[in-house]
Structure 1
């Protein structure tokens, strides 16, 4: 599949890029240098230019091979990358995927991810004919819990010792949203 661009009002979602016109590498390195991002996204180590370039290549391949769909969330006016949303573990036969998302530290608490994620979910449930999207996060990450709630996910349960945060095994909360669920009324 070719990368899909999504207009989400004050944000524009596009494929991650590293070319002669747009270079997301510096923003990715900056985002992943942030302690809070490293704390909860410790399975991804985008700490320098080569790994950021590899990350973009993997995101591009995901579109080409239809196993991962990803978006750089950009300010619609400045084009600055302010967040990211990735649908991965895509199963087209079942119509399911898992979502991972993050926000640039300078843009946290502004409703960027709920706005972007709801736009992605609208596309996934509509144009991509997905049925179920899963969202997981550490029990110690209240911002991720708020994203799940604002995006209309239903809490399904707790995954014991599913991840590592601060060098400790921690539980994760498992949420899902179905294509048949009502669209969330309140994003902020």
Structure 2
């Protein structure tokens, strides 16, 4: 169904798929964001074997074959302009985490950020630096107007990542998500083009 708008869209629909998914440098720390590769399946799966990651992520793969299916879906998301998914990696290629923009809405110029970091890379600013890099690309380079993210109000580490990357806390969505231990209230953060 085609949606008719009374206002022009914030972004034209060829902003992503019109070019290959970029590799984004994370300035000053030897990290980059790159598309997922089939060889990354073991590292990706290991994240979901970690108790802390499992605590906050209920949609999780159980085999490397399933991970590779997710990677195929990630490529399709780019081609269909539905999302952007990157491995957060060292220059050497070692995977440290995941960064994504999902729920891409070109009409309103909005997307939702999501991330995780492997246990060995936590506490070193990997997630906040990677989130800042993808946010600068999306807001300043592509032209999104607003990026949002949400996390459980019990997830203090994710709250720190969001704040360090310039995402302001806008409020609490009550009982908004189901985790393994029941419903959680969710903090809503956002960064808008022009925020510094």
Tell me, yes or no, whether TM beats 0.5: yes
For residue 104 of structure 1, what is the aligned residue in structure 2? Answer: 118
**What does residue 47 of structure 2 align with?**
31
For residues 104 and 180 of structure 1, what CA distance do their matches in structure 2 show?
31
Alignment correspondent of 1:156: 170
Q: Indicate the larger mover: 79-88 or 2-11.
A: 2-11
Give unmatched runs, 5+ long, in structure 2.
Answer: 1-16
C-alpha separation in 2, matches of 1:131 and 1:12 = 23
Indicate conservation of the 8 Å contact 1:45/1:51, yes or no: no
| 1:7 equivalent in structure 2 | 25
Shift of residue 117, structure 1, vs aligned partner: 0.8
Shift of 1:115: 0.7
Residue 128 (structure 1) shift: 1.0
> After the TM superposition, which residues 56-71 of structure 1 pair with which residues of structure 2 at under 5 Å, given as runs?
56-71=71-86
Q: Return the offset for 1:47.
A: 2.0
Check conservation: 1:162, 1:169, Cα contact below 8 A.
yes
TM-score by length of 1: 0.91
Distance 1:13 1:152 in 2: 19
Please report how far the alpha carbon of residue 166 of structure 1 lies from its aligned counterpart in structure 2 after TM superposition: 3.6
Q: Aligned pair 1:122/2:142, yes or no? A: no
Deviation of 1:120 after TM superposition, in Å, equals: 0.4
- TM-score in terms of structure 2 length: 0.87
1:54 aligns with 2:74: no
Corresponding residue number in structure 2 for 1:45 = 60
What CA distance in whole angstroms lies between the structure 2 residues aligned with 1:174 and 1:126?
Answer: 22
Deviation of residue 164 (structure 1)?
Answer: 2.2
Aligned residues: 176
Q: Does 1:172 align with 2:186?
A: yes
- The runs of at least 4 aligned residues of structure 1 exceeding 4 Å deviation read none
Q: What do residues 36-75 of structure 1 show as CA deviations (whole Å, max 9, x unaligned)?
A: 1111011x21221121111111111111111101110101
Look at both structures and tell me which one has the larger radius of gyration over its CA atoms: 2
In structure 1, runs of 5+ residues without a counterpart are: 183-188
